[in-house]
A and B are shown apart, each in its own frame.
Chain A
């Protein structure tokens, strides 16, 4: 039975991909924003400069909207394994279930429990406990990323398990399961990606308001903080990505072969295909533009060590080369674009034109959504590259599906698409609306109402309004 010519398996894969893509961008943004808010709040408590408090309040409302969307789309994910992938859940639930259970117990409750105090409670609990709440929310986002990445990594590089006659995965060694071979690389790469994604959004918002008013102190601060982050973290991220790639070569060589678009095994060093059109049925990459030997240099750090091409594996054990070939290049391209912007910002600082360089600011605005694109492209690379398996090499995607009929999955997919585009389209619209507000007044009620309960500092007449209020 098919629906619009698609099988239930294909529809379920599209549904998972669609819902997880929508979900993924919100936590990616929340991780970075929560850490940024913790930094801003610490700076406010330390320096007592109202600009930091205004920035905190400014980003706080943006965080609240993004976090809500992350929560509701995340609830969908926690049930998606059961509705569409019940065989995977039944066979591997004893391993990935506890990892996700720990995510709920150590992260979700922490975030949700302290979010209310972080958003609405400063006056009720005082600065100290409020800071604790802000840090708990940030910590929660990071812990959440750790557990879910561990569960996802286990599907890529399963370890620490045995199997019974019916094919259930049985846990043998939890330490080996959690710290499975690809986990350290994947979690580093993912968290850095989240921080970079957010820093480009913050940088873009800062740049946008700088173009409108070059003297806006809050805009200057956020633009500068974001660009420091971009300049420092991007090189680290490129290194982390390279290490992650080497780890993937070790454990999932088919994925690397597909990423590289290489069907042949080169005995004398693999070229790097910059561009081409991989064609799985013809088993060759058309119109390839190659740099000889560079593939071996990057992946084996040697001139002539060989890398296996896709033809080394039977056809039914290969991931589709075309999508991962392109998604990988999009991700890497954006990475180097970020590196260029980071270096440019350093140069502009060195020249003393950092806040005046309008071209740099316009480029940063244009690049502000690039992190999301890179995160999704990288996610597609790794997940499509895991095909045709859900648990790598052990459980096929086609054997993981619920006993669902194509029309049911198709109907629910259409419902998801309609609701997600409506709801999250509106959400993005409101987020942009919030980001268009100039970051000066925010809500200054905390300052206007005189002394804060725990600090006892009454802001002076000049401080309370900031230097550059219009």
Chain B
């Protein structure tokens, strides 16, 4: 493993996508759980937990896209046409849920926008999961352009990964609400988190057992030596994390379940990383092949290395400012 520019960039983009998944994950998850909270003040509370942070969370998605175009133009230019429909549906859903958060406070039809927030969150999460599954399956590329069909992304496997991500986001949302709210809303979020945890572990198991049989590369990576050592570690860590989550819910802890849910995401993501490396697009483009000219990588890396820590610092500060239980009097009224 050499730490050249391309590998560093692959790591940065992987980090941006992970940051997106965990941060927007809990706010998409909050939207997915909307139907379980029927009263108006409960919904006000739900949306107020994410109001100060949602645009910042979604900016990581823009960084993922922008970084991909800058550092791996050929990946950006082949993956997006390959995932044309799920990507467009995801974007349209994100529009709905984003504006619903702002519009609901100004509207006579608050319930209608809440439905938009729920539906948009659900569809966006589902499409992201489908896109992930399609990417794991691999994409047909010839001469630096996508060469597959319109429906290649739609397979039983990608549908399962779609459902898995919806469940995962719902778990993040439930543990987030458990962290940020009090009283009946918190109690219900905690009750929702338990079955969601079981569903998430089941989903992780199904996807993990299915993946090695999709492509020989994964199979050899997972069951070949020495990498099998790492791929054995990940499931053990997942079990430990799930156990820690369960204990946290059982003991009515506020922060522990959320951290454990984040841990599950990070571990699943690491498992994917082990499977993908050294490919950017499995079976089609390696990190080296797909990298932009060195000048581009170097130019943007200077900024990324200086700015990403700063971004993380002020993002953390913003979260810190709005720490603790959410206070309804601070929203829009």
Contact = CB atoms under 8 A, between A and B. Distances in A.
Asked if chains A and B come from one complex, the reply is yes
Interface of A: 61, 64-65, 67-69, 71-76, 78-79, 81-83, 86-87, 89-98, 100-106, 108-117, 119-121, 123-125, 166, 168, 170-172, 174, 402-405, 408, 412, 415-416, 419-420, 423, 426-427, 430, 433-434, 443, 445
20 contacts: A82-B65, A82-B68, A83-B81, A89-B77, A92-B73, A93-B70, A93-B76, A94-B70, A100-B66, A106-B303, A106-B307, A113-B311, A116-B52, A116-B56, A121-B52, A121-B322, A124-B321, A124-B330, A405-B150, A416-B92
A72 B94 contact: yes
Q: Is the interface of B mostly helix, strand, loop or mixed?
A: helix
A82 B79 contact: yes
Contacts of A120: 51-52, 322, 330-331
Contacts of A93: 69-70, 73-74, 76-77, 292
Contacts of B103: 65, 426-427, 430
B63 A171 contact: no
B65 A125 contact: no
B84 A83 contact: yes
Contacts of A102: 300, 303
Given A105-B63, A404-B81, 5 more contacts: A69-B102, A94-B70, A109-B311, A174-B299, A433-B106
Q: Is the interface of A mostly helix, strand, loop or mixed?
A: helix
Interface string B46-79: 0000011101101101110111111101101111
A111 B73 CA distance: 26
B88 A412 contact: yes
Contacts of B106: 65, 430, 433-434
3 nearest A-B residue pairs (beta carbon): A93-B73, A116-B52, A97-B70
A109 B332 CA distance: 23
A430 B106 CA distance: 7
B87 interface: yes
Interface of B: 51-53, 55-56, 58-59, 61-63, 65-71, 73-74, 76-81, 84-85, 87-88, 91-92, 94-96, 98-99, 101-103, 106-107, 144-147, 150, 292-293, 295-296, 299-300, 303-304, 307-308, 311, 314-315, 318, 321-322, 329-333
Nearest to B331: A120
Contact of A116 (B51, B66, B67, B300): B51
B105 to A, nearest CB: 9
A117 B318 contact: yes
B80 A83 contact: yes
A75 B91 contact: yes
A100 B70 CA distance: 8
A340 to B, nearest CB: 35
Contacts of A61: 332
Contacts of B296: 94-95, 97-98, 171
Contacts of A83: 80-81, 84, 87-88
Contacts of B144: 90, 166
Contact of A73 (B59, B95, B147): B95
Contact of A101 (B52, B70, B315): B70
A6 B98 CA distance: 32
B56 to A, nearest CB: 4
A62 to B, nearest CB: 10
B300 A68 contact: no
Contacts of A69: 99, 102
Contact of B321 (A89, A109, A121, A445): A121
Contacts of A104: 59, 62-63, 66-67
Nearest to B307: A105
Nearest to A65: B102
Contact of A109 (B56, B84, B145, B293): B56
A179 to B, nearest CB: 14
A165 B321 CA distance: 53
A96 B145 CA distance: 19
B333 A408 contact: no
A72 B91 CA distance: 8
Given A89-B76, A97-B66, A106-B303, A402 B81 contact: yes
A61 B58 CA distance: 20
A27 B295 CA distance: 30
Nearest to B315: A113
A420 B95 CA distance: 9
A100 B73 CA distance: 13
Contact of B295 (A86, A117, A166, A172): A172
A91 B69 CA distance: 10
Contacts of A174: 295, 299
A97 B62 CA distance: 12
Given A68-B55, A83-B81, A78 B322 contact: no
- Which residue, A68, A86, A434, has most C-beta atoms of chain B within 10 A? A86
A85 to B, nearest CB: 8
Contacts of B68: 82, 97
